[in-house]
Amino acid sequence: MKNISFYAVIALLLMLVSCVVKVPMNEEYMKKPSRVGLFVNVSEPQKYREGSQGLLDLALTSGDKYQPVLNLAKKQLDPKQKLIDMYSDILRSKGKEVVIIDEKFDPKNIQKFKDEKAEGKKYSNIDFRPLKDKYQIDEVAFVNLNWGLMISYYSMIETGRAGYAYFDNRLVNLSDNSLYFANDNMKTIMIKGKWDGAPNYENAISKISETLNQAIEVEKNLYK
């Protein structure tokens, strides 16, 4: 049951963070000064699954054998501070005053947005409006990164492994929780050959690193 509950949390996180909508950058927003809260959430590197599999398969194909790789990836590659610095520089270059929001993001205790929605606007599924008075900010730039390994399955058979990175990027107007910008950015790079070369796991770590770097390059150009 432990594995099932973990994936239920991941599903909840993706459902709440992702608006299943793409909103191009609001050009007027970028032309005006404002105070924006930067909220970067980076998950622990995890094993993600794709392909045909049932609950019995989940129980029999646990992710324990990949944990040493994931632990090493966190130690060597954790990109959170790099991302905070990058987004801060981008926003400041646009004339924004940046406030770093250093809070733990808990998908199980998220406040969902339930108010009436105006026609023609898109809204964040998460209600970020309580941050407005708490931090004295006009907007929040919320960036969520899930990353690690993507394992492909057919039934109980592993058919492939890849580095994995998935960014949810949301720029939210805190006056009404509407979106100035929304973008999802996913990258995977296949791990060819031996992945389990302990203790350094060079092949797997290099592909996870390459995947992260490619996804981050996309993020660099989003606010233009």
Say if residue 5's pLDDT is above 50: no
Q: Containing domain of residue 138, as a range?
A: 2-220
Q: Enter the tokens of residue 57.
A: 């398969």
Task: Give the pLDDT score at 6.
Answer: 43
Full-model pTM: 0.86
Contact yes or no for 40/80 (Cβ under 8 A): yes
Q: How many separate domains does the chain show?
A: 1
Residue 119's pLDDT band, with cuts at 50, 70 and 90, is very high
Q: What is the pLDDT of residues 124-167, one digit of tens each?
A: 999 999 999 999 999 999 999 999 999 998 877 889 999 999 99
Please, what's the largest Cα pairwise distance for the chain? 55
Closest CA to 114 of 123, 103, 104: 123
